[in-house]
A = this chain, B = another copy of it.
Amino acid sequence: MGRTLGELALLLGGELKGPADLMIEGIASIDGATPRDITFITQRRYARQAHQSQAAAFLVGPDQADLPRPRIIVPHPYLAYAQVAALFAPLRRRWPGISNLAYLGREVELGQEVSIAPLVFIGDKVRLGDRVTIMPGCVIGDEVSIGGDTLIYPLVTILERCTVGERVIIHSGTVIGADGFGFVPGAEGHLKIPQLGTVVIEDEVEIGANCAIDRGALGETRVGRGTKIDNLVHLAHNVTVGEHSFLVAQVGVSGSTKLGKKVALGGQVGVVGHIELGDGVQVGAKSGVHHSIPPGVTVSGYPARPQQEWVRIMGHLPKLPEIYQRLKKLEQQLTKLSDRLEKESAT
């Protein structure tokens, strides 16, 4: 299923430098490429490795236009890489139709070309859009609705009444719609607050493996269109994530917090409940966010504060022992000086 370099250049709308009929069989990293692969250079520092690479050809930006190897010059080599990778991706194999080893409840509505693998449980009144793929071992609760072209990897749980949009991808082990962590503290322990809400996953969201997105206590937990969520992320009840946000692995967001559009949370970030992070807020990895943050601000640290301030503080942190020593020395010098002056004025 190869493509010629000329075909690729045409598809990418890039400038071909090299033999149009060069056969490309796959795409690989600069050091993993064989003479049948194309590779790509996204940063100048990879240029050196390019000379040793066995790759047949390169996707390069204008800054690498002179690379003395067969190449396609494109404005954004990283984007071109994604496009070529999509060409060479093996076809996703789907179970053809509805497995007779799956369990389907009553009044299930199935669109065209739905794929339900063996060992899947589908509850009552579930609605699956066209070309939905449910891989083995998934459990889909009653009255769940899943939009067209959505792909659910193995062993995902989606609990009753939750809604998943179109072209969504949910990776294995993820749980959508578990009860939020809601209790009334009392003298005799904690009284459970029934979690009556749902989860809404909008179109084109991707959710990684082993995440947990809880249903609203009342109302919804919502993940906005195009948002991408990495592995092992926790979203508590009634969290709202705006469109096109980006949550890296092991992030946790507490109840009722609202993230705006295009918010980016680094790995292992924690956000407390009942606050708002405005559109475009960025939070550095491992930070703990305790207060609302206005749109467009980048923060870091624990507790999180404006990025530049945090960097400046952290830059001074290692000086702390030295500061302490210098302070002690100063105190001694000043005492000495004062004593001397006392003596002098006494004479």
Cβ of A155: which chain B residues have Cβ within 8 Å of it? Answer: 137, 139, 155, 157, 175
Cβ of A159: which chain B residues have Cβ within 8 Å of it? Answer: 153-154, 172
**Chain B CB within 8 A of A3 CB:** no
Q: Given A189-B204, A267-B270, are A210 and B320 neighbors across the interface (CB < 8 Å)?
A: no
C-alpha gap A134/B286 in the complex (Å): 36
- Number of chain A residues close to chain B: CB under 8 A: 118
**Chain B CB within 8 A of A71 CB:** no
**Chain B CB within 8 A of A58 CB:** no
Cβ of A321: which chain B residues have Cβ within 8 Å of it? Answer: 312-313, 315-316
C-alpha gap A314/B190 in the complex (Å): 32
**A173 B212 Cβ-Cβ under 8 A:** yes
Question: A156's closest neighbor in chain B, by CB?
Answer: B155
> For chain A residues 188-229, which have a beta carbon within 8 Å of chain B?
188-194, 196, 204, 206, 208-212, 214, 217-219, 225-226, 228
**A32 B250 Cβ-Cβ under 8 A:** no
Q: Given A178-B208, A191-B82, are A196 and B89 neighbors across the interface (CB < 8 Å)?
A: yes
Question: A26's closest neighbor in chain B, by CB?
Answer: B196
Copy number in this complex?
Answer: 3
C-alpha gap A344/B84 in the complex (Å): 80
**Chain B CB within 8 A of A132 CB:** no
Residue from the set A88, A209, A305, A313 with the largest chain B CB neighbour count within 10 Å: A209
Question: A136's closest neighbor in chain B, by CB?
Answer: B121
Q: Given A302-B302, A320-B316, are A234 and B212 neighbors across the interface (CB < 8 Å)?
A: no
**A206 B218 Cβ-Cβ under 8 A:** no
C-alpha gap A67/B233 in the complex (Å): 41
Question: What distance in Å separates the Cβ of A25 from its nearest Cβ neighbour in chain B?
Answer: 13
**Chain B CB within 8 A of A292 CB:** no
Question: A246's closest neighbor in chain B, by CB?
Answer: B190
**Chain B CB within 8 A of A48 CB:** no
Cβ of A204: which chain B residues have Cβ within 8 Å of it? Answer: 189
Question: What distance in Å separates the Cβ of A221 from its nearest Cβ neighbour in chain B?
Answer: 12
Cβ of A142: which chain B residues have Cβ within 8 Å of it? Answer: 93
**B316 A324 Cβ-Cβ under 8 A:** yes
Question: What distance in Å separates the Cβ of A222 from its nearest Cβ neighbour in chain B?
Answer: 12
Cβ of A109: which chain B residues have Cβ within 8 Å of it? Answer: none
C-alpha gap A316/B137 in the complex (Å): 53
C-alpha gap A214/B86 in the complex (Å): 18
A-B contact pairs, 29 of them (CB 8 A): A76-B184, A85-B194, A121-B137, A121-B154, A139-B154, A154-B157, A171-B212, A173-B173, A189-B243, A208-B212, A210-B212, A212-B249, A232-B232, A250-B252, A250-B270, A254-B267, A267-B270, A270-B285, A285-B288, A302-B302, A319-B324, A320-B320, A327-B330, A330-B330, A333-B334, A333-B338, A334-B334, A340-B341, A344-B345
Closest 7 CB pairs of A and B: A212-B231, A121-B136, A189-B226, A139-B154, A89-B194, A209-B212, A175-B209
